Structure 1
Amino acid sequence: MTSGEGMRMTLLTPIQRWDYAFSERCLCHRFNGQVAQISRAVSHTGDGHLYVLFALLIVWLDPVQGTDVLTTGLWAFALELPIYLLLKNSVKRARPSTLPCFIQPSDQYSLPSGHTAAAFVMASLLTSFYPDTAWFIWPWAVAIGLSRVLLGVHYITDIVAGVALGWACFAVVSG
């Protein structure tokens, strides 16, 4: 280990401890199975298949600005996905492994949360074109992120990083 890696580990240790403690509190209780069932359903809404359905519906139902919504969304996701993959495969933060896990994650790394990043791209997109949806869309995006912690596949800082990534990618594209 180089001195830079040692310093980074020292600086991140309190955050990692807090992350673990937060996840432990979320996952190690007698209702975790019931919470996981709800979290699995919520998380599933952020798997991506609904995004395609939303895009098709918006183009069909809103001929005035539907194409703009679709184009902006495609650009935002085209920016978000490679940055997400680069971060995930560069940081290589291990997923929680000593805590209960209620789903099989698609890969071994946790930072950032791709579900959360995508949900925040989608929430930013929809509320920028349709502000009246904010009452539902923002809580849904937050629920996606929290569901990933409650399923045992992410730490809360992975979620925060996903939020930042989603917002930043939308901000760059809508700029």
Structure 2
Amino acid sequence: MKPRAPAVFERLDLLEWQLCQRLAGFSIHRPWLATLRLASKLGDWPIWVAVILAQPWLHGPAGWRLAAQYALTAVAAILVYRLLKTRLCRERPFITFTAIPCQEPARDRYSFPSGHTMHAVMFLTLVAAHSPVLLPALAPLVALIAVSRVGLGLHYLSDVAAGAAIGYAFAVASLALAG
């Protein structure tokens, strides 16, 4: 017997699926699809490792403390994300609605919340606090990562919104704890 998503997700799915289908439909344009795929790949981990490793370069010896803070915040966020994802069991839009094209292999069958968006917003918030010089390059990438999740057919808009909220909360908590 497969796990069942809460009823609220079933209602949200019905509200969101047509908009998700429209947004995923733009991926028929090859340059846009390539952009979404690149943003998704960067949001897997490479850009965040670069942000972590850049902290000592940007801040000298104090940057090692920031690098550790960023890494520990990311690990804590991953643990909560995994717990939510495996307990809430919201199936990805392309699974529930076959009219939504999937343009990138999914790692698993569940979509809530968006881990890519969670990390993107979390790191953007941390960078805004410590290294705002990086914001002009990072903010558009974060937006593209969030858009890519829906545009590739992997997430609903509410998955992305929840991921953004969770990422922001983790960053704010991290900043408060590091005081």
CA 23–33 in structure 1, closer or farther in 2 if over 3 Å, else same? farther
Instruction: Name the residue aligned to 1:91.
Output: 88
* Candidates 45, 50, 54, aligned match of 2:51: 54
Q: How far 1:112 sits from its partner (Å)?
A: 0.4
Q: How far 1:56 sits from its partner (Å)?
A: 2.0
Summarize the alignment of residues 154-173 of structure 1 with structure 2, pairs less than 5 Å apart.
154-173=155-174
CA–CA distance in structure 2, aligned partners of residues 66 and 54 of structure 1: 11
Summarize the alignment of residues 35-114 of structure 1 with structure 2, pairs less than 5 Å apart.
35-96=32-93, 97=95, 98=98, 99-114=100-115
Q: How far 1:155 sits from its partner (Å)?
A: 0.8
Counterpart amino acid of residue 53 in structure 2? L
Indicate conservation of the 8 Å contact 1:19/1:156, yes or no. yes
- Return structure 1 stretches of 4+ with deviation > 4 angstroms: 11-14
CA–CA distance in structure 1, aligned partners of residues 54 and 76 of structure 2: 23
Counterpart amino acid of residue 49 in structure 1? P
What's the secondary structure of 2:149's corresponding residue? helix
Q: Deviations over 1:73-100 (max 9, x none)?
A: 0221122011100110011000012110
What's the secondary structure of 2:43's corresponding residue? coil
CA–CA distance in structure 2, aligned partners of residues 131 and 115 of structure 1: 21
Q: Deviations over 1:56-77 (max 9, x none)?
A: 2322343153123212202211
RMSD: 2.1
Q: Deviations over 1:105-130 (max 9, x none)?
A: 11110000111111111111111102
Unaligned runs of 5+ in 2: none
| Percentage of pairs with the same residue | 27
Q: Deviations over 1:4-56 (max 9, x none)?
A: x9xx63x5555322210111111235835442221001111111023223322
TM-score with structure 2 setting the length: 0.84
Unaligned runs of 5+ in 1: none
What's the secondary structure of 1:28's corresponding residue? helix
CA 33–115 in structure 1, closer or farther in 2 if over 3 Å, else same? same
CA 86–102 in structure 1, closer or farther in 2 if over 3 Å, else same? same
Most deviating of 151-160 and 17-26: 17-26
CA–CA distance in structure 2, aligned partners of residues 23 and 32 of structure 1: 16
TM-score with structure 1 setting the length: 0.86
